[in-house]
């Protein structure tokens, strides 16, 4: 089960690093390097998915990742209903609560509910919130929704709180893959003050410093995708920064 890992992180102040792999952009050598890092304990969770997944090798790559990094959970982060795969450990069952597109709030979930149940996938109900990242991203275009403006922390906090009250188990704030500006500390902090749920933050995190800023502001797990696609050589530095943010939290708790 993956959700207990997130709950435990939230309770203990341990910070987590998730690496997002877009199957269309995956390369065999990079996948192997990421699997090696995961086996060294540097990656807590793999997220798997993308706005479009066309590559015929997607299932095969997931198999490869499972075989090479068999103790690190793989969680589907689906861009569409076509991206279910029972090789994964869990699924972020996304409801795009920052948008007003009913299809993404409940429609697509209805289409795949039966399949998810029969696949025995752990479904983690996720309040998915898009925050403006400075330029249009694939996710805002593909979802046909407007992200929450970056200077409106109160709207982000109220949206996350409504998600919690509706029974979501996780809040994922995303500035979109390749965002110019990641989700700001003010937004993360505002949401952290309002909800008790584990918070995941991603989109446009390209440096260890940015990762630490998001974690210090209240994220429990950060997600990095784009910036590791071409070169994952800086991952050990990133993982060390994530661990140091955990340490600070534990020190404060002592
Ligand atoms: C996008 O949060 C993820 O949905 C990761 O974003 O690819 O910019 O790291 P990046």
Two structure tokens written together for 242: 């994530």
Residue 254 counted as domain residue:
no
Residue 123 counted as domain residue:
yes
pLDDT in tens, 133-169: 998 888 989 999 999 999 999 999 999 999 999 999 9
Give the pLDDT score at 230.
85
Find out whether the beta carbon of 223 lies less than 6 Å from any atom of ligand 1: yes
The number of the ligand 1 atom at minimal distance from the alpha carbon of 201 is 2
* DSSP line for 80-117: SGGG--TTSSEEEEEEETTS--HIIIIIHHHHHHHHHH
Find out whether the beta carbon of 156 lies less than 6 Å from any atom of ligand 1: no
Two structure tokens written together for 109: 């979930």
What total of structural domains would you count in the chain? Answer: 1
Average pLDDT over residues 9-18: 97
Ligand 1 centroid – CA 20 distance (Å): 7
Residue having the nearest C-alpha atom to atom 2 of ligand 1: 202
CATH code (residue 180): 3.20.20.390
Range of the domain at 196: 3-246
Ligand 1 centroid – CA 131 distance (Å): 12
Find out whether the beta carbon of 204 lies less than 6 Å from any atom of ligand 1: yes
Residue having the nearest C-alpha atom to atom 5 of ligand 1: 203
CA distance 151 to 208: 23
Average pLDDT over residues 229-244: 96
Residue 76 counted as domain residue:
yes
Residue 36 counted as domain residue:
yes
CA distance 187 to 157: 7
Residue 252 counted as domain residue:
no
Residue pointed to by tokens 């089960």 = 1
Residues with Cβ within 8 Å of 127's Cβ and at least 6 positions away in sequence, in order, are: 95, 97, 159, 160, 162, 163, 164, 166, 168, 170, 171, 172, 197
Band (239; pLDDT cuts 50, 70, 90): very high
Band (58; pLDDT cuts 50, 70, 90): confident
pTM over 0.90: yes
* DSSP line for 168-229: -SEEEEE--TT-SSPPPHHHHHHHHHH--S-EEEESS--SHHHHHHHHHHT-SEEEE-HHHH
Is residue 25 over pLDDT 80? yes
Is residue 63 over pLDDT 80? yes
Give the pLDDT score at 249.
52
Find out whether the beta carbon of 202 lies less than 6 Å from any atom of ligand 1: yes
Give the pLDDT score at 8.
97
ipTM associated with this complex: 0.97
Residue 45 counted as domain residue:
yes
Average pLDDT over residues 122-128: 98
Residue 202 counted as domain residue:
yes
Give the pLDDT score at 248.
57
Is residue 253 over pLDDT 50? no
Average pLDDT over residues 112-116: 97
Residue 253 counted as domain residue:
no
> What are the φ and ψ backbone dihedral angles of 48, each rounded to 5 degrees?
-130, 115
Find out whether the beta carbon of 177 lies less than 6 Å from any atom of ligand 1: yes
What is the best residue among 79, 206, 222, 226 to mutate for testing ligand 1's pocket, by most ligand atoms within 8 Å of CB?
A: 226
Ligand 1 centroid – CA 158 distance (Å): 23
Give the pLDDT score at 56.
81
Q: At 36, which helix (H) or strand (E)?
A: helix 28-39
């Amino acid at each position: 089960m993956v959700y207990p890992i997130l709950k435990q992180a939230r309770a203990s102040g341990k910070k987590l690093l998730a690496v997002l792999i877009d199957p269309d952009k995956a390369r065999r050598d990079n996948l192997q390097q990421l699997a090696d890092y995961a086996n060294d304990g540097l990656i807590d969770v793999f997220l798997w998915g993308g706005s479009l997944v066309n590559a015929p090798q997607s299932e095969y790559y997931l198999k490869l990742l499972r075989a090479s990094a068999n103790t690190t959970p793989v969680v589907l982060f689906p861009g569409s209903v076509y991206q279910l795969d029972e090789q994964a450990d869990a699924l972020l069952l996304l409801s795009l609560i920052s948008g007003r597109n009913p299809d993404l709030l409940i429609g697509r979930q209805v289409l795949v509910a039966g399949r998810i149940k029969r696949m025995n996938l752990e479904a983690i109900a996720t309040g998915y919130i898009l925050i403006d990242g400075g330029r249009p991203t694939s996710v805002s275009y593909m979802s046909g929704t407007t992200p929450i403006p970056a200077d409106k922390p109160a709207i982000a906090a109220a949206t996350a709180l409504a998600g919690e009250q509706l029974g979501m188990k996780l809040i994922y704030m995303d500035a979109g893959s390749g965002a110019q500006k990641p989700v700001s500390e003010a937004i993360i902090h505002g949401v952290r003050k309002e909800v008790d749920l584990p918070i995941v933050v991603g989109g446009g995190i390209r440096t260890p410093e940015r990762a630490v800023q998001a974690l210090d502001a209240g994220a429990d797990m950060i997600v990095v995708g784009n910036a590791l696609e071409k070169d994952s050589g800086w991952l050990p530095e990133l993982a060390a920064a994530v661990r140091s943010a955990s340490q600070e939290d534990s020190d404060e708790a002592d």
